[in-house]
Structure 1
Amino acid sequence: MYTLEQLACFVTTVEHGSFSAAARALGKAQSAVSQQIINLEIDSNQRLFTRTGRYPELTEAGKQLLPYAQAVLAQQTLFEQQLCLLDSQQPARLTLALDEGIPATGLKDVLITMAAEFPGLAFETLSASSADIIELVQQGRAGTGLVFSSLEYPSLLHFDSVGTVTFDILVSPLHPLAQHRPTHTDQLKLHRQLVIGSRNQVGSAFNYPLSPDVWQADNYYMLNELTKAGLGWAMLPQHIADQALAEGTLIKLPVDAENLSWHANVDLIQHPGDAATRAGRRLRQLMQGLL
C-alpha cells in the first residue's frame, strides 16, 4: 500500500522537475527519493515517470494520478493543522457577530490576516442588531461581537471601545417634517418614528423611541427603505444612508434640527471562552483598528 512519504516524493519531483531537486526540497538523499517513487510504482502497479531523458517525465498514468496525490497531501496538511489547533487548545471555529449599522469595510483585511496566522481555523460571521448580538455572545453562540455601546453588559463579557459611528435624523423629501422645519424634539413626537428593534424584543439602549407611534425593524437596511418610502423618520448611520442622500430619496432634517446629529460609540465584546484563546485575542486586537 502506498504511503504519504511516497506521495510526497512523487508530487515534489513533479513540482521541482527532477529527483535531485525533489531530494533537496525534502531534505533527503536522491537515492531515497528515487526508491520511494519506485516503491510507489510497485505498490500502484503503474509506471509514473519515463526516465529515458535527462529529466523524468510523467507518463499518462502519472498525469492521471498526480491531482489525486496532491489532494491527499493537502488533506494531510489540513489534518495536521487541526492537530496543532487541538494541541494549542485553540478553537476550531470563531464566530463574529456584527451590527450592520457599523461600517466594516476593513473586515476583509482582518479575515485575511486571521486566515494567514491561523490556518485551518474556520470562521463564521453573523449579522444582527446590537441587542441580539449581546445575547448571542452571552450565550456563546458568537464568541466576539461588534455592537453599539450599551449602558450595561452581562458581567462575564469582555468589552473595549473601538470607535464611533455618525448618525443623522433622516426623512423622505415628501415627509411633512421635510416641509416644516422642526425647532424642537417635541415636534418629532408628532410623527411616526422608525427604530431598530431586536428579535427578543429587548430595546436598544441608544436608539430609543421618542414618538408614541413606532415601527421597528431588526436591521438598518430595512429601516433605510422604510424611511425612503416616507413611512416615518429615523436615525440612520451615515454610511447606510449615503446613497439615498446622493439620490435625493432621503434628506437630513432641515437646519434647525442639525444639532440632532450625533456619534454612537462602538464596542467590541467577547465571550470569556474566546478571550482566553490566542486566536480570540488576536481577533480582538485586529478589530481594534477596524474603525
Structure 2
Amino acid sequence: MFRLIACCLFFLTLPAPAHGDSDARPVDHFTLREAADFSKQVERELAERGAYIALVFRSGRPRDDLPDGVRYTHAAFWVYGPVTEFDGSQGHGYAVYNLYHGQADPTRSYLAQDWPLDFMRGDAVGEVGVIIPSEAMQIRLLDVLASDQYDNLHQPAYSLLSNPSDLRYQNCTEFMLDVIAAAAWLTDDRTRIKINLDAYFAPTLVRLGWWQRLTAGWFDPRIRLDDQASGPVEIASFTSIADFMLAFELAEESFEIQAGFGE
C-alpha cells in the first residue's frame, strides 16, 4: 500500500501577517462543480504523463496576497493506485495525503488523507504547479513512503515559515522536501538530511522588516522565527523545490496547469 504524505504551507502576507488558507476548507471563489472539474482535469493530465507520483501545489490565497517569489500555499504528493468508489466498487485514481497544522493547537501538525476534490476546494486562483519526479525517483519515493521512514521524517512542531535547513520546525513543503531528500540520499536521518540540504538546496527568500520579525508571532502563533538567521527568511516553495529536483535530475519536468472552467 502506498503511504503518501503532503503538507500545508501558509505564508506571510506582506507587509502584514496573513492568516493563510485553512485546512482544506472550501474557498467561495469557485463552485463545487468547478473544483470537481479542475481536479479531474489535473488527474487526467498526470495520468497522460504516466505519473505514479506527482508533487502538486495550489494556492488558497490570491497571488497579490503572497510574497514575491511565492506562488502556492499548499503542496501534496498525489499517488496513483487502487481507490474505492462511493458505491463500494474498486477503481484507480489519485489519492492525496496531507500534513496540516492543528485547529486546537496550530503549533502542532498532523497527517491526514483526502482526495483531489478536497485539494481543489482549497484553490483560490484556478492554477496548480506540478513537479513530475524522474522514473527512478518515483520508485525511490514509493519505497520511502511505504516504510517506517514516513514517521521518522515527520516533525510535529509546526512553523508557518520553517527553515528547510533546520531541525526545529516543519511545515508542508519542508516535509515534502525532507521526503524527497530521504529518497535521493537513501537516509531517514534528519540531521544528515539537513546538512545536505544546507549544502545543495537553494531556498526561497522572504524578506521581512525588523518590525515584522518582532511582531509576527503576536498575531499568529504559527509564525516562529527562532530557526531563522538574520536576513531574509528561508523557506521551501514550489519554485525552489522544482529548481532543486531539476538541477540534480530528480525530476523530469515542472509545469503549471490552468483550470479550464469555460471549456
- The TM-score range, normalised by the shorter chain, is under 0.3
TM-score, scaled to structure 1: 0.22
Between 1 and 2, higher relative CO (CA 8 Å, sep ≥ 6) is seen in: 2
After TM superposition, the score normalised by the length of structure 2 is 0.24
Task: Write 1 or 2 for the structure with the bigger share of helix.
Answer: 1
